[in-house]
């Protein structure tokens, strides 16, 4: 006697429904990869911005040319004498011109612009001074200077990046939900076609979980294969984007982060597990509804 078929063959799955599901999961996995890239990139950008701006402050000295040197010297004395400040350095005309270049283009003679004096301050990252205390000391000495530790910028930048990151995570969650809903729908339709088979299995003593296992096993592999195809295409798209240096400069997440292989595997596994769980829930719900 030849081999009696495995449990998987007990349900006569149609190739068409499997192909349709594969296409849906592959498309969702492709979109999920971009959502994940968005989430990871914004998280990374947020930390880069906050880390970049942390540990540094600037002091702006609004004074005319005659008084600027005296006030700058006064500000430097106060700052160097403040706990939590490790260095303070007055920027020369060239440094200030460089700072303004992105907005005004090359500036041959800064003297023509009413540019303020700038002092770059390096902070002790472990023990940053209270900005209000520093400002009070500058005001008390009559330095006519404004202390800025970039706190407002840091907060806004991080908040914006976090908001975009959260949206990306939501998009990822919705993609998973769409896969689950598609599996649910496909299985509900398939179970109508398989009604006679399921009835025969149940009358032979099959528990609900036995029937659910037949479907979930099949849809786990459909999910995994769909995830592999979709994420593979997304990966190819990323490689293509990476090859474009202009895109690479604009999107720092493309700088070959170590987590891409894990993220890729994560997408495939998530597609497979979401399909498996949705299949199980769909079968159990349908069987209970039928009574």
Partner 1 sequence: MIQFENVGFRYKRGPEVLQSVDLEIPAGSFQFITGESGAGKSSLLRLLYLDAMPSSGRISLFGRDVTTLTRDEIAWFRRRIGVVFQDFRLLDHLSAAENVALPLTVAGAREAAYRDNVTEMLQWVGLGDKMEVRPPELSGGEKQRVAIARAVVASPDIILADEPTGSVDPAMAERIMALFVEMNRLGKTVLFASHDLAMIEQYKLPITTLRGGTVASGMGAAA
Chain residues in the site for partner 1 (CB under 8 A): 1-5, 7, 9-10, 12, 196-197, 199-208, 210, 288
Q: Which is nearer to partner 1, 34 or 210 (CB)?
A: 210
Q: Which is nearer to partner 1, 106 or 205 (CB)?
A: 205
Q: Least Å distance between CB 279 and partner 1?
A: 18
Q: Least Å distance between CB 212 and partner 1?
A: 12
Q: Least Å distance between CB 209 and partner 1?
A: 8
| Structural Rg of the chain based on CA atoms | 31
Q: Which is nearer to partner 1, 215 or 264 (CB)?
A: 215
Q: Least Å distance between CB 5 and partner 1?
A: 5
Which positions ≥6 away from 146 have C-beta within 8 Å?
A: 59, 60, 62, 135, 138
Q: Which is nearer to partner 1, 172 or 190 (CB)?
A: 190
Q: Least Å distance between CB 222 and partner 1?
A: 19
Q: Which is nearer to partner 1, 110 or 193 (CB)?
A: 193
């Amino acid at each position: 006697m030849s081999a009696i078929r495995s449990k998987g063959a007990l349900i006569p799955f149609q190739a068409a429904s499997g192909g349709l599901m594969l296409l849906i999961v592959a498309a969702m996995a492709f979109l999920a990869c971009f959502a994940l890239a968005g989430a990871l990139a914004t998280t990374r950008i947020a930390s880069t911005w906050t880390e970049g701006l942390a540990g540094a402050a600037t002091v702006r000295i609004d004074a005319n040319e005659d008084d600027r040197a005296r006030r700058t010297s006064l500000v430097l004395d106060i700052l160097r004498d403040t706990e939590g400040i490790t260095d303070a350095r007055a920027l020369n005309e060239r440094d200030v011109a460089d700072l303004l270049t992105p907005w005004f283009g090359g500036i041959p003679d800064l003297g023509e612009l009413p540019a303020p004096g700038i002092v770059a301050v390096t902070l002790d990252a472990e023990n940053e001074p209270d900005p209000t205390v520093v400002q009070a000391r500058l005001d008390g000495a009559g330095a006519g200077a404004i202390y800025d530790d970039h706190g407002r910028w840091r907060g806004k930048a991080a908040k914006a990046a976090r908001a975009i990151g959260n949206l990306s995570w939501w998009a990822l969650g919705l993609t998973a939900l769409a896969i689950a809903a598609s599996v649910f729908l496909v299985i509900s339709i398939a179970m109508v076609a398989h009604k006679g088979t399921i009835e025969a299995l149940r009358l032979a003593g099959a528990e609900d979980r036995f029937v659910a296992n037949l479907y979930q096993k099949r849809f786990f592999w459909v999910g995994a294969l769909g995830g592999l195809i979709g994420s593979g295409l997304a990966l190819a798209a990323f490689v293509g984007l990476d090859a474009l240096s202009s895109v690479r400069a604009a999107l720092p997440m493309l700088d070959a982060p170590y987590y891409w292989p894990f993220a890729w595997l994560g997408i495939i596994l998530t597609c497979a597990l979401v399909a498996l769980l949705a299949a199980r829930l769909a079968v159990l719900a349908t069987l209970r509804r039928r009574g």
